[in-house]
Amino acid sequence: MYDFFSNRYREIVVALILVLVLVTVNAVHRSEEKVRWYDKAVIYITAPLQSSLTYVIKGTERFLENYIFLRDVKKDNMALVEENRKLQNLLHDLTEAGLENTRLRNLLSLKEKIEISSIPAQVIAEDVSTVFKAIRINKGENDGVRIAMPVLAYSGVVGQIIRAYPSYSDVLLITDPNSLIDATIEESRARGVVEGRGKDHCRLKYLNRLDDVQKGYSVVTSGLEQRFPKGIMIGTVEYVNKKHYGVTQDVTIHPSVDFNSLEEVLVISTQGLL
């Protein structure tokens, strides 16, 4: 007998629960006058179990509802994040396109202003050698670029071509010590020669000590050497040292072109300057 119950206890428990459920259902659905005392006893005994089962069932339903809701929310959030990423990329592309269009319009207006044959080009690299301060552009001999041609940006003078290859060229910047440009101070018309100093600065040489030069004055190309167009901005006077001896003064110039962010340039045909 013991072995019988020990081997069948799960089936017996399930059977008892089913009996209780059936009796309870039967008792609950009887009218008040038909409820017998043992029906009331069964209801009394099984009521806590029913309450617990109802609580568990309701709790499970709420959990499943919340789980499904949270899963849907997570999917929606992931979709929103992806959509936001796409919009951010689109905004970035539009901003870059807008900035490029502005630079190209400025370059076009410069080309129209100087009324000289020119070749638009893009900066593709910076010369990392210690010999020259130079940049590389994507136009070369096949495009009509030749050595010594001046190179301009919308904001001013960039430099001149020092090496020309079939499909690209190297530009010597005005900040290189090997660069020399005949220049004029716009406010006083005093003349000198702009020479590179190698550290994003230039100096104005051969300027008479008595010439009017002040901080903030503009320095432009003179056009006398028939290499650069006349009146193109080179930079502004940053420092003036009027010596108590000698015939010249020490003048430092800050270039008008930001070479660190330079992207587009114009190569000027020197034939139009002759």
DSSP 3-state assignment of 103? helix
Cα distances from 60 to residues 55, 72, 246, in angstroms, run: 8, 18, 97
Q: Is the pLDDT of residue 5 over 50?
A: no
pLDDT tier for residue 1 given thresholds of 50, 70 and 90: low
Q: CA nearest 38: which of 49, 26, 48, 50? A: 26
Residue ranges of E strands in 97-145: 118-126, 134-137
Contacts of 201 (CB under 8 A, 6+ apart): 175, 238, 252, 253, 254, 255
Gap between the Cα atoms of 69 and 12, Å rounded = 40
Which token pair is 210? 């008595």
Which pLDDT value is given to residue 210?
A: 86
Q: What is the pLDDT of residue 229?
A: 87
Residue 28 is predicted with a pLDDT of 46
Q: Is 96 helix (H, G, I), strand (E, B) or coil?
A: helix
pLDDT at 56: 61
In three-state form (DSSP H/G/I as H, E/B as E, the rest C), the secondary structure along 33-61 is: HHCCHHHHHHHHHHHHHHHHHHHHHHHHH
Place of tokens 């069932």: 57
Q: What distance in Å separates the CA atoms of residue 60 and residue 58, rounded to the nearest whole number?
A: 5
Give the pLDDT band of residue 132 (cuts 50, 70, 90). confident
Among the CATH numbers 2.40.10.350, 3.30.200.210, 3.40.50.300, 3.30.70.600, which is that of 118-273?
2.40.10.350
What tokens does 177 get? 């010590």
Go through 238-262 and write b for each residue having 16 or more CB atoms within 10 A of its CB, e for each that does not. beeeeeeeeeebebbbebbbebeeb
Task: For residue range 233-257, list pLDDT tens digits in order.
Answer: 999 999 998 877 778 888 999 999 9
2 pLDDT tier (thresholds 50, 70, 90): very low
- Mean pLDDT computed over every residue of the chain: 77
Distances (CA, A) of 157 to 46, 152, 233: 97, 5, 6
Per-residue pLDDT at 103: 61
**Which sequence spans correspond to the domains of the chain?**
1-115, 118-273
Q: Would you state the pLDDT for residue 177?
A: 92
Report d(CA 142, CA 119) in Å as an integer: 11
Task: Identify which has the larger pLDDT, 54 or 40.
Answer: 54
Model confidence at 184: pLDDT above 80? yes
Instruction: Indicate the DSSP class of residue 172.
Output: E
Query: Among 21-30, 42-51, 166-175, 231-240, which stretch is predicted with the lowest mean pLDDT?
Result: 21-30
Q: How many CA atoms lie within 13 A of 164 on its CB side?
A: 16
Helix, coil or strand: residue 187: coil
Residue type, 177: P
For residues 116 and 105, give the distance between their C-alpha atoms in angstroms, rounded to a whole number: 17
Of the two residues 194 and 246, the one the predictor is more confident about is 194
Residue length of the chain: 274
Q: Which residue did the predictor score with more confidence, 84 or 123? A: 123
